Amino acid sequence: MTDTKNSRRTIRFTLNGRPVAADIGLNQNITEVLQDSFGLGGSRESCGQGLCGCCTVIMDGKAVTGCLTLAAFADGASVTTVEGLADGETLSAEQEAFIETGAFQCGFCTPGFILMTKQLLDENPDPDDEEIRHYLSGNLCRCGAYPEIVKAVRLAAGKRRNA
Amino acid sequence: MAGTTTTVGRSFPRMEGRAKVTGRAEYVYNLRLPNMLHAKACRSTISHGRIRSIDTSAAEATPGVHHVVTGADICKVLPEPFYGPAFHDQPILALEKVRHYGEPIAVVLAADPHVAELAAQRIVVDYEELPAVFDEVEAMTSDVIVHEELKPAGTFADLKHLAGKRDTNLALDYHLRHGDADKAFAEADRVFEHTFSTQQTMHTPFEPMIAIADVRNSAATVYTSTQSPSFVRYELARLLGWPESSVRVKTSHLGGGFGAKVYVKTEALALALSMIAHRPVRLALTMEEQFYTITKHPSTFRIASAVDKNGKVTARKCEVWWNGGAYADIGPRVTQKSGFTAAGPYNIDNVSIDSYALYTNRPPAGALRGFGIPQLVWAYESHTDIIAREMGIDPVDFRKRNILRNGRMQAVGTVVKDGEFEAILDELAKRMDWDKPFDRGSGTVRRGRGVAIGFKASISPTTSSAIVAVNADGSCIVYCSTVDMGQGSDTAMAQIASEVLDIPMEKIRVVNPDTDVTPYDMSTLGSRSTFHMGHAVRLAAADAREKLLALAKEIGLPEGHNTPVPELFVRKFGMSAGAIIGSANYIPDFTPPNYSTGQSPNATPFWMSGATGVEVEVDTETGQMRILRMINVCDIGKAINPVVVETQISGAAVMQLGFTVSEEMVIENGQLTNPSLADYRIPGIFDMPSVMESGFVAADQQNGPFGAKGVGESGTFGVSPAIANAIEDAVGVRITKMPIKAEAIYRALCVKQGRELSDD
Ligand code: FES
Ligand code: FES
């Protein structure tokens, strides 16, 4: 078994653009640390197995599932969460698009879908529906908001192009 | 409630939308309390057995563990630790026996959840395994008895006679007799009989069930992701023997519910643990543990129809067995309240219905988006389609010949009002171009199409209460215990208050349920909130409006004045102070059914209905099926918020699509083999039909708030049988068991070609 006393360490990383440090357990994943040490609830655990995407964060430019990413791996990295997307009170294009198309119900999956949408549009500013579905196929929505989510991505793409 | 509205009927974006897209929405899942302990359960690895011993020593010896708690420890703080809405049959932790796989037996408490989890795995339970029963029909006659004695809760009059019954797995039998079915069958031109079944599935809300309990100073506060704050308060107060005012239940937005979070789930255990630890305790289930907590009833439905030569159904006999699992939860209500619509939305003069709730050794079953209705529709709409085909009548035409119209008496004895069953069928047929030629495919890829329609009576009688406060600055707060779990109820309630008080939406706030603050509500379930709480909020707002008028009069303003509200307060109280409080209780009229005939002249305040049409493509070489088009049309009365209503309909249909084609809890050798999203497959973005349309017909629920009625479940009703009907249309095979996987279609195709496949 792990001796919890000797299995802690301090990590330093960039969180939504600001340098931070945290005392973590080596068995903690990044989602737990964001919740417990930083009060950030946007990355949240649901399936706990890397299947639903509710825990998505962006680490060094790549979308990862927080539930399977040990916090220790964040040491020295740059981490972006959904809380980092809005500029003060101004929502990002993706966030606006999700509201305007009604692309969520309970909203538990929404931060994951929004971060994936941002990643997709960073890579491919004008995806077609098939590309959208493909890119988002690693995320699940139990409320079944998929038709509206696809619309939201298209709307967000338009907003970004016209920005 | 006639006249035009300005706020109601408009598609406002959800009030909490900003919080949800920024990751700041409040869920109980995100809550942390100072000094809190985490709880992790050790669960049964068998489906039925006596507990010989529980060895907690290794768990206790684990560094960082505060407590290891068993059922015996629970009895020390709560001497009668049994709960449940219909039967007090469920122990907080197993006592002497386990009755289903995954039942909680012991709990470890630690400040570090990882320590609690590790230590929980070190608990060793020794069982004397007992034979188990898993099938609902077998449970009727099985020697395996799940509960030694039945313990009805006393809340429901029709369960009282079951108190103390022994040697039975039957938790409720419900019977309805309307006309003379036996005689009609004897005189029938044609008789059809089929049996259909459904599998066990799970809601999988993405915010798993969670409760944090904090008991101190003779008061309990429980933060929980529940759909039923008022019931949780009632039940915990009962367990404690305390007044309800000493128990506070708070909730936030829910990350989905779908019926999983009704009544007591994690709350009683969290409460007991906090009493033992004298600290706040957080009991957060994993996705896996949710599968052991509550599920959807598997069912078997034997249905027979007598039909005359013109295609008129003259009688229907329905026998339904509901597999309630090891604890009754709300299953007996499903048996009765859904039971009476088992013959479908048809005008049938002679109906007999027998509906049975059974205990088995499966994880407990409760309510899941439709309260039993999707299981019934699956059977009666598959059956109806088979009859139409065998009689050579177009399936839409056959349904229309028999459809139940307004002004006719439904089998329960209640005359249908504002039930647009025919209208949704017509609208569906129109949207599907049913009259036009249809491309049936060729070679090994065949196409077919199918329709189905289902209906539901709103569960009655239930009560909702609301408070609407107008602040001195003219802003408004709505206090109600309706839980917004994604259905958009906060926005709808705000729209209603805004409409009545003529206060703009931006100035209205809807308070999250908190039983110390928000008044009683029966529960957020069964698509009841828009109607019941909608009325309560409407009436409370009207009460506040009357009081504002009285205030204006008191300060000497003439009738029809247009003094702004803040000004009224200043004139009365000398400054911006005071508040106007409106309140209301709402309960619809209802007549309880006669016990022996099941008949009631007023069984429900409103009827919901949904129809689905699909076009499918089936590969005859593999059994693979693809849905090319799905159309869902519902009767929702008048929409309070049309866009939210549409997403409710399509979301419900997507969920039912999963239950139809992929989701299935598999129990092998007494073990649940797939309690995870890896092996229990819910719909993903690629499972969406290529084209999907959801809509509703113009309608008016005359006794509803602004003409509205419930909608959360209606989109589920027709999906499963519409798919089965389309498959038969495409390739001529009939699937009678859910889920409809490619393998089942392939096997049926083989049988049709005269070569049956072996089981392996
Ligand atoms: S919780 Fe991490 S992917 Fe589901
Ligand atoms: S909005 Fe509820 S899970 Fe996606």
The reply to whether B59 touches chain A by the CB within 8 Å rule is no
pLDDT at B4: 83
pLDDT at A147: 96
Assign B149 to helix, strand or coil.
strand
Catalytic site residue from B207, B664, B713, B728: B713
Whether residues B495 and B540 fall in one domain: yes
The reply to whether A40 touches chain B by the CB within 8 Å rule is yes
- Which residues neighbour B191 within 8 Å (Cβ) at sequence distance 6 or greater? B185, B304, B305, B306, B307
**Mean pLDDT for each 10-residue chunk of chain B (760 residues)?**
80 96 97 97 98 98 98 98 96 98 98 97 98 98 96 81 91 93 98 98 98 97 98 98 98 97 98 98 98 98 98 98 96 84 97 96 96 96 98 98 97 96 98 97 97 95 96 98 97 98 97 98 94 98 97 94 95 96 96 84 96 98 97 97 96 98 96 97 96 95 96 97 98 98 97 82
pLDDT at B760: 65
Q: Is residue B169 part of a domain?
A: no
Closest CA to B572 of B556, B585, B559: B556
pLDDT at A6: 62
Domain spans of chain A? 2-84, 93-162
Whether residues B317 and B443 fall in one domain: yes
Q: What is the CATH number of the domain that holds B224?
A: 3.90.1170.50
* Nearest chain B residue to A31, by CA: B30
pLDDT at A107: 98
Whether residues B95 and B46 fall in one domain: yes
List Cα–Cα distances, A106 to A141, B485, B488, B760, in angstroms.
9, 5, 8, 41
Domains identified in chain B, total number: 3
Whether residues B386 and B442 fall in one domain: yes
What's the CATH code, domain A2-84?
A: 3.10.20.30
Whether residues B426 and B510 fall in one domain: no
pLDDT at A5: 53
* Cβ atoms of residues B525 and B370 within 8 Å: no
- CB pair distance less than 8 Å for A133 and B118: no
pLDDT at A3: 47
Whether residues B327 and B429 fall in one domain: yes
Q: Is residue B191 part of a domain?
A: no
* Cβ atoms of residues B501 and B468 within 8 Å: yes
Q: Is residue B143 part of a domain?
A: no
The alpha carbon of residue B133 and the mean position of all alpha carbons in its chain are separated, in whole angstroms, by 25
Q: What is the CATH number of the domain that holds B516?
A: 3.30.365.10
Residue B206 CA to ligand 2 centre (angstroms) = 7
Partners of A139 on chain B (C-beta within 8 Å) are 685
Residue A118 is classified by DSSP as H
* Cβ atoms of residues B283 and B224 within 8 Å: no
The reply to whether B644 touches chain A by the CB within 8 Å rule is yes
Range of the domain at B541: 17-26+462-586
Whether residues B605 and B644 fall in one domain: yes
Whether the ipTM is more than 0.85: the answer is yes
Q: Which is the closest atom of ligand 2 to the Cα of A107? A: 1
Site residues for ligand 1, CB cut-off 6 Å: A 45-48, 50-55, 65, 67
Q: Is residue B2 part of a domain?
A: no
Whether residues B423 and B306 fall in one domain: yes
What is the token pair recorded at B336?
């009765």
Whether residues B657 and B742 fall in one domain: yes
pLDDT at B416: 97
Closest CA to A160 of A62, A64, A105, A85: A85
Residue B690 CA to ligand 2 centre (angstroms) = 21
Whether residues B505 and B518 fall in one domain: yes
Whether residues B569 and B624 fall in one domain: no
Assign B658 to helix, strand or coil.
helix
Q: Is residue B199 part of a domain?
A: no
pLDDT at B3: 62
Whether residues B708 and B633 fall in one domain: yes
What's the CATH code, domain A93-162?
A: 1.10.150.120
The reply to whether A73 touches chain B by the CB within 8 Å rule is no
